[in-house]
């Protein structure tokens, strides 16, 4: 888990690049920007806010031949070995981004390259390099007293509440290609930032596999359990799945299926579904891995545990105590009304 509240911007270099296919040029600042407390506070919010709000999906630098041929990996290595070189290297980073700006839809903009200290990951303080780009410009108004009237001045600039593109290159796991987080708010050309500029691949660690496997289970519940059983069993399957992940340190598929699959007839269906759909989630050959607790907590928040009925009634299950739904909720069919019903047992109503 990443924490950027204590992170400091040690240096900032700002350059401007255009669209290469339109013969737009570049502008490189001769020296690093001189930061002050006011600017630093605004920039930290501008740069870091998207990473606090976005789900953590880590990447690593990649290259089809060897990591040493990944240009940004080489530049990042140089900076981490000699942080004083960052302004010089920032020009190379901006040039590399400019060289990828060949699609006619890619907008010109400012490139910010920062050296960051005290990035906290899993309670460990680590240095990082931040590369950010602002693209979309907005009109805004300023007001100036002129004699006895207020004059309106039209200005053109960026919205610091929304970062267009950014990445954090974290000085961890260098041999595997570092750990990288990326955001891209303007996905008009998805290859431009992640593939062409960064050239990264998903970091397949315990967080990756925990997220992917739980998402796979969620889709299996929707596509197989729901049609074969009912909405309650779909919810209860995910209930049991999440709780299995939550109480174990390591995942082992056979143990998981024996505990979670209430209907044994669905175990072959699960294996067939995995054979068919596994590659989509990058888990086709995965049957055991360490479990990332943070990923389980994130998944629990996203999984719906509500049964919505066409009579405008909702039944909410409890993911923490799934045995309650097993014991105290029954489904049946009323011949007289020709309708399904849920029978819910309880001792007393709880005060809200």
Residue 212 lies in a domain: no
Q: Are residues 99 and 186 in the same domain?
A: yes
CB 2 within 8 A of CB 51: yes
Q: Are residues 25 and 158 in the same domain?
A: yes
Domain boundary among 203, 234, 265: 203
CB 106 within 8 A of CB 189: yes
- pLDDT category at 122 given cuts 50, 70, 90 is confident
Q: Are residues 106 and 46 in the same domain?
A: yes
pLDDT (tens digit, 9 = 90+) per residue, 133-178?
A: 999 888 889 999 999 999 999 988 888 889 999 999 999 999 999 9
Q: Are residues 239 and 164 in the same domain?
A: no
Q: Are residues 22 and 126 in the same domain?
A: yes
pLDDT at residue 341 in the model: 82
Q: Mean pLDDT of all residues in the chain? A: 89
pLDDT at residue 2 in the model: 87
Domain boundary among 155, 177, 203: 203
Q: Are residues 35 and 164 in the same domain?
A: yes
Q: Are residues 182 and 232 in the same domain?
A: no
Q: Are residues 254 and 321 in the same domain?
A: yes
Residues 183-194 as b or e (16 or more Cβ within 10 Å = b):
bbebeebeebbb
pLDDT at residue 205 in the model: 87
Beta strand 179-184 with 165-170 is antiparallel
Q: How many helices (H) and strands (E) does the chain have?
A: 11, 17
Greatest alpha-carbon span in the chain = 84
DSSP 307-330: EE-TTS-EEE--SS-HHHHHHHEE
Q: How far apart are CA 116 and CA 216, in angstroms?
A: 36
pLDDT at residue 333 in the model: 81
Domain boundary among 203, 226, 241: 203
Which range of residues forms the domain containing residue 252? Answer: 218-344
Residue 235 lies in a domain: yes
Number of domains in the chain: 2
Q: Are residues 55 and 172 in the same domain?
A: yes
- Taking the model in full, what pTM does it have? 0.76
Q: Is the pLDDT of residue 314 over 90?
A: no
CB 342 within 8 A of CB 330: yes
Q: Are residues 15 and 128 in the same domain?
A: yes
pLDDT (tens digit, 9 = 90+) per residue, 183-214?
A: 998 777 768 999 999 999 988 888 899 999 99
Beta strand 26-28 with 200-202 is unpaired
Q: How far apart are CA 158 and CA 186, in angstroms?
A: 14
pLDDT at residue 233 in the model: 82
Q: Are residues 255 and 120 in the same domain?
A: no
Q: How far apart are CA 290 and CA 200, in angstroms?
A: 23
pLDDT (tens digit, 9 = 90+) per residue, 74-116?
A: 999 999 999 999 999 999 999 999 999 988 888 999 999 999 9
Residue 242 lies in a domain: yes
Q: Are residues 20 and 124 in the same domain?
A: yes
């Amino acid at each position: 888990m990443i924490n950027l509240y204590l992170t400091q911007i040690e240096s900032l270099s700002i350059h401007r690049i255009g669209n290469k296919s339109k013969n737009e040029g570049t502008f490189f600042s001769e020296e690093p920007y001189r930061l002050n407390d006011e600017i630093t506070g605004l920039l930290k919010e501008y740069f870091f806010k998207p990473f606090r709000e976005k789900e953590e999906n880590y990447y690593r630098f990649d290259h089809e031949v060897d990591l040493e041929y990944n240009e940004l990996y080489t530049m990042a290595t140089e900076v981490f070995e000699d942080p004083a070189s960052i302004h010089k290297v920032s020009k190379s980073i901006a040039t590399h981004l400019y060289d990828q700006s060949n699609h006619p839809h890619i907008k010109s903009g400012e490139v910010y390259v920062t050296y960051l200290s005290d990035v906290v990951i899993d309670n460990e303080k680590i240095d990082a390099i931040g590369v950010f780009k602002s693209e979309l410009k907005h009109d805004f108004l300023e007001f100036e007293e002129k004699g006895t009237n207020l004059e309106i001045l039209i200005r053109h600039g960026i919205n610091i509440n929304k970062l267009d593109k950014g990445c954090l290159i974290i000085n961890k796991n260098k041999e595997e290609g570092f750990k990288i987080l990326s955001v891209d708010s303007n996905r008009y050309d998805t290859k431009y930032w992640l593939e062409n500029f960064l050239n990264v691949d998903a970091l397949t660690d315990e967080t990756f596999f925990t997220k992917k496997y739980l998402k796979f289970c969620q889709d299996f519940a929707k596509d197989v359990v729901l049609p074969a059983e009912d909405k309650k069993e779909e919810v209860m399957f995910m209930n049991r799945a999440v709780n299995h992940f939550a109480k174990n340190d390591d995942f082992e598929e056979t143990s998981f299926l024996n505990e979670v699959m209430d209907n044994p007839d669905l175990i072959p269906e699960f294996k067939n579904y995995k054979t068919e759909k596994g590659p989509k989630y990058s888990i086709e050959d995965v049957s055991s891995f360490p479990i990332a607790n943070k990923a389980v907590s994130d998944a629990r928040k996203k999984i719906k545990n509500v049964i919505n009925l066409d009579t405008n009634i909702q039944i909410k299950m409890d993911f923490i105590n799934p045995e309650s739904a097993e014991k105290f909720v029954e489904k049946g069919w009323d011949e007289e009304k020709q309708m399904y019903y849920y029978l819910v047992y309880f001792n007393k109503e709880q005060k809200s």
